[in-house]
Chain A
C-alpha cells in the first residue's frame, strides 16, 4: 500500500511479533482505536511509545484511574481559579476560555499534528467510562459546553488503549476497536527482547537464564508468574554481580528479582530450583 500501510515496523528498543505490527497498521489505516490486552509485563504500554517513536509522532498519555471520568479527558473547567482571579481584576474573567483546560483526549483532538493517544488501563475506570468515549472516538469531535465551542480533529490521532482485563468492557465499545491480545513471547522472541535491553549479554548466560525463567513460569502453583520486565531486571542484577552462567545452571541467584510473593518463593524452593545463596536473598 502506497498510502503508508506497514508504517509501523517495530523499533530498535521495542521488538514485536508480525501479528502485532499488522494489528497496529490495520488500526492506523482504518482509523480505529487499537485495544491491546495481555498479561502484565508484556509491554502493552510501551507499545504506544514505540508506535509514536516509529511514526515520528508526539504521544499523549492518559493514565486512567478508578475515579477517572470520561469528560476529564476532554477538558476541565476551572471554576475555582476563575473565582479567585475575579477578586483582583488583573485578568479578564469574562473570557471563560482561559479557564478551560484540555485533557489528553482534548489535546489529541485539537492538535495540529497527528499524535498518538495512549489511554492506559481503561478497565480501571467505571463501567460507563468506555461508553462515554464512544462518540468522541468515533467522530473525533467534541464540544465545550461552557463556551459552546466545537472542536473537530483535523488529524485523526492514533489511539492505543490498554486493558488488564480487570473488568469487562462494554460490547459497543469493543466493536469499534481493533483488538490484539499480546501472547507471552516464546524463547526466541524473548531472547531478542532481552538483547535490546542488555546488548552485551553473554549468550550462554542468556540461554541458561531463559531456561530457568520458563521453568519458573511453568511451575504449578506459582501465583504471580515472572514477566518480561522481571526477567530483564534479573539479568541486569546477574550481570552487575558478575554471576557466571555455570552458577545459574546450579541455582537461581537473586530469586527475589523474579518471584515477588512469599508463597511462590516457597513453591520454587520446594521444587528444588535454587540453593542457599538465594535463600539468603529472602528477607
Chain B
C-alpha cells in the first residue's frame, strides 16, 4: 500500500467522525507488517475494520470512508440534517434587552395581561396580522406570535425573540434518548461522586478490626464479625426544563440524562420535566401529558433524595413572582412560581440547580431569583463534579 493512499485514509476516517487514534493506526500497521491482510483489498478491509472500528454504530461511517478512499467514489451524502443541527446547537446569547424594555417587562402584570387577552379575543372577530392591537402574528400587540412586544403573550408559533411571557399552545418535544454515545462517560464519571455510602443489606464482609477485638475478648477463641458492605443509598430525582429557550441545550441535557440513567451506582433514579419553572405539577414525560402533582412528588420521594433541577432559569420574572404567572396558559398557578421552588427546597434538603448557560449570562433577574433558593452550578463536566461533591455526603 503506497503512503499516498494509506495515510489519507486515516484522516478520512477521522473526518467521518471515527475517533481513530495513532495507537490504533500503529496496531493496523503492525497487522499489515505481519501480513494479516493476506495481500488483498478484502483482507485489508476486514483487518482495518476489526482494528479501527469500536462499535457497530461506526461501521457505516467506516464503510463510506473506505469506499471513498479505495474506489474513488465520492459520496455526497454527508447529511444536510447534521449540518443544520450543528447551526442550531450553537446558541446565541439571550436576546439583548435594553434596560428600558427590561423595566417594562418587570412591570408587566400578567394577570391584567391575561384578562386583556381574553377581552380582546372576545372582541376580535377574525384573523389579524400586523398592527398593534388585535391578536395575530407580527406587529406590536402584546398578544400572538412572531411580533415584538417586550412582555406580551405568545400564542403558538415559533420562538423568535424569546420575549413572550406566555405560550398558550400545545407543544411536542422529543423524548430524551437513553442511548447517546458521545461523552456521556465524562459526565458519568463526574456523577460517581454523587453518593452516600452506608452499610446496609446482608452482612457478608469481614470486619477485621471488630474480629480482632472480639477474638481478644474471647481470650483467643476466634470470633468472626461480619458486616454489610458499604453501598450507595442515594436516590436522585432529575427534573429537566424542556422546550422554549432550552431547545439549544437539548443535546447537553440529553447527555446529562444519559449519563445519570446509565450510572448504576444510584439506589434510585427518577426523572421529570417542567417548563421554565415548577408549579402545581411536574411532568412524567417531555410532552407534558402525564402530570405528577407536586404533593405526590413530595410524598413519593424521601427527604434525603437528591433533587437536581436542570434549566436555564431564564424567564420573565413574573413567571416566578406572580400568581398565574406561568408561561403556559393552562397552568394557572395559585401561588407564584418561587413559592413552589421554595417548597421543593424545603422538602429536599439536598437540592441544586444546573444551568446549561455560561455563568456570564447568569445576571438576568429571573436567574438571580432562582439562585436565592437553589445553589446553581453550570452544566459542564466540572460543574456537575462540583455539584456531585456538594450534594454527595451528608
Given A84-B222, A168-B184, the answer on whether A178 and B50 have CB atoms closer than 8 Å is: yes
Classify the interface of chain B: helix, strand, loop or mixed.
helix
- Complex CA–CA separation, A177 to B211 (angstroms): 44
Measured between C-beta atoms, what is the minimum distance from B339 to chain A in Å? 39
Whether the pair A30, B34 counts as a contact (CB closer than 8 A) is yes
Measured between C-beta atoms, what is the minimum distance from B62 to chain A in Å? 10
- Complex CA–CA separation, A127 to B34 (angstroms): 34
- Complex CA–CA separation, A229 to B36 (angstroms): 32
Chain B neighbourhood of A174, CB < 8 A? 54-55
Chain A neighbourhood of B35, CB < 8 A? 1, 5
Q: Which residue of chain A is the closest to B258 with respect to CB atoms?
A: A168
Identify which of A26, A87, A177 contacts B31 (C-beta below 8 A). A26
Whether the pair B54, A22 counts as a contact (CB closer than 8 A) is no
Q: Which residue of chain B is the closest to A83 with respect to CB atoms?
A: B222
Identify which of A1, A26, A80, A177 contacts B47 (C-beta below 8 A). A26
Question: Is A175 in the interface zone, CB < 8 Å from B?
Answer: yes
Could you jot down 27 A-B contacts, CB within 8 Å? A1-B35, A19-B46, A22-B43, A22-B46, A22-B50, A23-B50, A26-B31, A26-B47, A27-B50, A29-B36, A30-B34, A30-B51, A80-B224, A126-B265, A127-B263, A168-B181, A168-B184, A168-B262, A170-B185, A171-B54, A174-B54, A175-B21, A175-B24, A175-B54, A179-B49, A179-B54, A180-B50
A73-108 at interface with B (beta carbon < 8 Å): 79-80, 83-84, 86-87
Measured between C-beta atoms, what is the minimum distance from B45 to chain A in Å? 9
Chain A neighbourhood of B125, CB < 8 A? none
Question: Is B27 in the interface zone, CB < 8 Å from A?
Answer: yes
Measured between C-beta atoms, what is the minimum distance from B82 to chain A in Å? 21
Whether the pair A175, B23 counts as a contact (CB closer than 8 A) is yes
Chain B neighbourhood of A5, CB < 8 A? 34-36
Question: Is B53 in the interface zone, CB < 8 Å from A?
Answer: yes
Number of residues on chain B facing chain A (CB within 8 A)? 37
Chain B neighbourhood of A25, CB < 8 A? 36
Whether the pair A30, B264 counts as a contact (CB closer than 8 A) is no
Chain B neighbourhood of A175, CB < 8 A? 21, 23-24, 54
Whether the pair A29, B46 counts as a contact (CB closer than 8 A) is no
Question: Is A260 in the interface zone, CB < 8 Å from B?
Answer: no
Measured between C-beta atoms, what is the minimum distance from A23 to chain B in Å? 5
Q: Which residue of chain A is the closest to B59 with respect to CB atoms?
A: A181
Chain A neighbourhood of B224, CB < 8 A? 80, 83
Whether the pair B34, A29 counts as a contact (CB closer than 8 A) is yes
Given A171-B185, A174-B54, A178-B50, the answer on whether A79 and B208 have CB atoms closer than 8 Å is: yes
- Complex CA–CA separation, A175 to B55 (angstroms): 10
Whether the pair A26, B51 counts as a contact (CB closer than 8 A) is yes
Whether the pair B21, A179 counts as a contact (CB closer than 8 A) is no
- Complex CA–CA separation, A68 to B206 (angstroms): 18
Question: Is B323 in the interface zone, CB < 8 Å from A?
Answer: no
Whether the pair A80, B206 counts as a contact (CB closer than 8 A) is yes
Question: Is A277 in the interface zone, CB < 8 Å from B?
Answer: no
Question: Is B30 in the interface zone, CB < 8 Å from A?
Answer: yes
- Complex CA–CA separation, A23 to B54 (angstroms): 13
Q: Which residue of chain A is the closest to B20 with respect to CB atoms?
A: A175
- Complex CA–CA separation, A84 to B206 (angstroms): 13
Whether the pair A167, B43 counts as a contact (CB closer than 8 A) is no
Whether the pair B34, A179 counts as a contact (CB closer than 8 A) is no
Q: Which residue of chain B is the closest to A170 with respect to CB atoms?
A: B185
Whether the pair A177, B54 counts as a contact (CB closer than 8 A) is yes
- Complex CA–CA separation, A181 to B50 (angstroms): 9
Whether the pair B59, A66 counts as a contact (CB closer than 8 A) is no
| A-B contacts besides A167-B262, A179-B49, A181-B59, 14 pairs, CB < 8 Å | A22-B50, A26-B46, A30-B36, A80-B224, A84-B222, A86-B222, A126-B264, A126-B265, A127-B188, A127-B189, A168-B262, A170-B185, A171-B185, A175-B24
Identify which of B21, B30, B188, B206 contacts A30 (C-beta below 8 A). B30
Whether the pair B51, A178 counts as a contact (CB closer than 8 A) is yes
Chain B neighbourhood of A127, CB < 8 A? 185, 188-189, 192, 262-264
Question: Is A225 in the interface zone, CB < 8 Å from B?
Answer: no
Chain A neighbourhood of B206, CB < 8 A? 79-80
- Kindly supply a per-residue 1/0 record for chain B positions 183-194, scoring 1 wherever the CB is within 8 Å of any chain A CB and 0 otherwise: 011001100100
Question: Is A37 in the interface zone, CB < 8 Å from B?
Answer: yes
Whether the pair B19, A26 counts as a contact (CB closer than 8 A) is no
Identify which of A19, A32, A171, A178 contacts B19 (C-beta below 8 A). A171
Whether the pair B31, A29 counts as a contact (CB closer than 8 A) is yes
Question: Is B56 in the interface zone, CB < 8 Å from A?
Answer: yes
Given A80-B224, A179-B55, the answer on whether A30 and B46 have CB atoms closer than 8 Å is: no
- Complex CA–CA separation, A127 to B190 (angstroms): 12
Chain B neighbourhood of A170, CB < 8 A? 185
Given A5-B35, A22-B43, A175-B23, the answer on whether A83 and B211 have CB atoms closer than 8 Å is: yes
- Kindly supply a per-residue 1/0 record for chain B positions 300-314, scoring 1 wherever the CB is within 8 Å of any chain A CB and 0 otherwise: 000000000000000
Measured between C-beta atoms, what is the minimum distance from B73 to chain A in Å? 22
Whether the pair B53, A26 counts as a contact (CB closer than 8 A) is no
Chain A neighbourhood of B24, CB < 8 A? 175
Q: Which residue of chain B is the closest to A3 with respect to CB atoms?
A: B34
Chain A neighbourhood of B263, CB < 8 A? 127
